[in-house]
Amino acid sequence: MKKKRSLLRDSKGNIIPSKEMVLKVDRMLKNLDGLASPSSILQGCPEAPGIVLEKSIVTPLDRESKNYKKIVKEYEK
């Protein structure tokens, strides 16, 4: 059985991911990105004409911002 590691936190209480977790997430995202391009998905799906797939551009939210707190509150509902 694996030993459970304690979580590392920064001064604000946010969990600091391990290097191993960062590498695993990076590998997962690269694998997902390499599965298929949006154009190849559209070519293989004639049953869904008019659907446009594109990559999303995201930006991180500041955990102290009002917008972040609003999103968390709505999610928890």
49 φ/ψ sector (left φ>0, alpha ψ -120 to 50, else beta): beta
Extents of the domains making up the chain: 16-45
Q: Comparing 1 with 60, which gets the higher pLDDT?
A: 60
Q: Comparing 37 with 77, which gets the higher pLDDT?
A: 77
- pLDDT at res. 3: 58
Closest by CA position to 53, among listed 62, 45, 42: 42
Task: Give the SS3 label for residue 15.
Answer: strand
Cβ neighbours for 38, distance < 8 A, ≥ 6 positions apart: 53, 54, 55
pLDDT tens string 24-68? 988 888 887 777 766 666 666 655 544 444 555 667 888 889 988
Does residue 69 carry a pLDDT above 80? Answer: yes
